[in-house]
């Protein structure tokens, strides 16, 4: 059985779409990769951010709802999303975020690496982890200088009621290895050198319940290299007693979903076909893209969606 190489994407819920775009593209400098809709709720955008080509391991996506209730982190959720940034860049990020009115926590160290923590406009917990970047895996151009720009995910933190069963899924099924423990936080890494390969299991005892809403992560997706590998994962998970969905066509990848033992919604998504299937690489995110089965409803869908202005450069 293959092993999971790392995170494919993370999908969250936000408030108003324009504020979300302004922060992630304008402030953080991520590329706006795709403007499409929630295939299960066509009246809502699905916005994708990532590196220049939108590679798995760099993709943070959002369902924006203008009137969403405020989410609350807790057991059964992803509580923190962490991005890699180049070593020595956290002073820049403290100053940049302060300039845009974003409060940050003091820089601390976690597993020997400096980290800067803050929240997005909807309260979603984010962390920048400063370390030596593998430049061979870089994909310019980018909105901010190379010496400070966000790269792939570094890790995600999962809050689970008890660690044992989630850890067993990660190690015995996905192929992750436990690589450290620090102040009650257990760290796991996928084998190999793939980007976005780290998961932390940690739950603040003060977090007794969760609520899905603005600022909440809806699900975390892991990579399958192709359809055959994804099908093998589905068979293996069903054999282990998990309730796994059928394969869903998300146009830019195919997906299966299930809840891991701690309650976090997991997805396994294929690496392809990718985001250039319906837009040229240099024009990603330029137009509203709908799946073929919704094209006949385009006029109605466009009328229901708010207008968006996409920053062409970081602000």
Residue carrying the six token digits 């809502």: 44
- The reply to whether 313 falls in a domain is no
Residue 12: name the closest of 154, 126, 124, 158 by CA: 124
CB 160 within 8 A of CB 263: yes
196 CA to centre of own chain: 10
Q: Report if residue 312 sits inside a domain.
A: no
Does a structural domain hold residue 155? yes
- 170 found inside a domain: yes
Q: Is there a domain that residue 315 lies in? A: no
Whether pTM > 0.85 for this model: the answer is yes
Any domain includes 2 = no
Q: Tens of pLDDT along 264-282? A: 999 999 999 999 999 999 9
Unique residue bearing structure tokens 């369902």: 63
Block residue for tokens 């997906």: 255
Q: For residue 200, what pLDDT band results from cuts at 50, 70 and 90?
A: very high
Q: What is the DSSP string of the chain?
A: -----SEEEEEEEES-HHHHHIIIIIIS--EEEEEEEETTEEEEEEEEEESTT--TTSEEEEEE-TTPPBPB--TTEEEEEEEEEETT-HHHHHHHHHHTT--BPPPEEETTEEEEEEE-TT--EEEEEEE---GGG-----SS-TTT---SEEEEEEE-S-HHHHHHIIIIIS--EEEEEETTEEEEE-SSS-SS-EEEE---TT----B-SBT-EEEEEEEESSHHHHHHHHHHHHHTT---PPPEE-SSSEEEEEE-TTSPEEEEEES-S-GGGSS-GGGTTSSB---GGGGGGHHHHHHHSPP----SS--
Angle formed at CA 295 by CA 217 and CA 17, multiple of 5 degrees:
35
Other CB atoms within 10 Å distance of the CB of residue 112: 8
Total domains, the chain: 1
Cα(158)–Cα(108) distance, integer angstroms? 20
Statement: residue 309 has pLDDT above 70: yes
| Spatial distance between the Cα atoms of 57 and 37, rounded to a whole number of angstroms | 21
Written as six digits, the tokens of 289 are 């893209």
Q: What is the rounded distance in angstroms from the CA atom of residue 25 to the CA atom of residue 217? A: 18
Compute the distance between CA of residue 54 and CA of residue 49 in angstroms, rounded to an integer.
7
For residue 258, give its domain range: 7-304
Query: In the predicted model, what is the mean pLDDT of the chain?
Result: 96
Model confidence over 32-61: pLDDT tens digits? 999 999 999 999 999 999 999 999 999 999
Q: Which residue, among 284, 287, 312, has the nearest Cα to 298 in the 3D structure?
A: 287
Going by C-alpha positions, the residue among 295, 276, 167, 155 that lies closest to residue 222 is 155
Confirm whether 169 is domain-assigned.
Answer: yes
pLDDT tens digits for 5-19? Answer: 999 999 999 999 999
Q: In whole angstroms, what is the distance from residue 241 CA to residue 282 CA?
A: 44
Report phi then psi at 60, rounded to 5: -110, 125
In a domain, 25, yes or no: yes
Strands 77-86 vs 125-131: parallel, antiparallel or unpaired: parallel
CATH of the domain at 245: 3.10.180.10
pLDDT value of position 136? 73
CA 144, 149, 158, 177 torsion-angle sign: positive
Task: Give the model confidence (pLDDT) of 60-77 as tens digits.
Answer: 999 999 999 999 999 999
210/201 Cα distance (integer angstroms):
16
Residue 1 pLDDT > 80:
no
The tens digit of pLDDT for each residue in 88-140 reads: 999 999 999 999 999 999 999 999 999 999 999 999 999 999 999 987 788 89
């Amino acid at each position: 059985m293959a092993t999971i190489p790392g995170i494919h994407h993370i999908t969250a819920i936000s408030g108003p779409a324009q504020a979300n775009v302004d922060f992630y593209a304008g402030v953080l400098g991520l590329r706006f990769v795709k403007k499409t809709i929630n295939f299960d709720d066509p009246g809502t955008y699905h916005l994708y951010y990532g590196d220049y080509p939108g590679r798995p391991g760099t993709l943070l996506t959002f369902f924006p709802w203008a009137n969403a209730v405020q989410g609350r982190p807790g057991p059964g959720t992803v509580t923190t999303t962490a991005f890699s940034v180049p070593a020595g860049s956290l002073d820049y990020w403290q100053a940049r975020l302060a300039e845009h009115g974003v409060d940050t926590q003091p820089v601390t160290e976690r597993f020997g690496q400096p980290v800067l923590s803050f929240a997005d406009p909807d309260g979603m917990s984010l962390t920048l982890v400063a370390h030596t970047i593998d430049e061979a895996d870089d994909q310019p151009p980018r909105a901010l200088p190379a010496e400070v720009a966000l790269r792939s995910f570094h890790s995600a933190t999962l809050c689970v009621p008890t660690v044992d069963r989630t850890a067993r899924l990660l190690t015995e099924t996905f192929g992750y290895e436990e690589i450290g423990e620090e102040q009650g936080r257990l760290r796991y890494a996928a084998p190999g050198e793939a980007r976005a390969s780290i998961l932390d299991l940690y739950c603040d005892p003060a977090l007794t319940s969760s609520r899905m809403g603005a600022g909440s992560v809806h699900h975390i997706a892991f990579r399958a290299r192709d359809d055959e590998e994804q099908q093998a994962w589905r068979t293996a998970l069903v054999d282990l007693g998990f309730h796994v969905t059928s394969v869903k066509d998300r146009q830019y990848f195919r997906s299966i979903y299930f809840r891991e033992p701690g309650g976090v919604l997991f997805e396994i998504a294929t690496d392809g076909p990718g985001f250039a299937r319906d837009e040229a690489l240099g024009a990603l995110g330029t137009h509203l893209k709908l799946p073929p089965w919704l094209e006949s409803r385009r006029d109605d869908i466009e009328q229901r969606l708010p207008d968006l202005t996409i920053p062409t450069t970081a602000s």
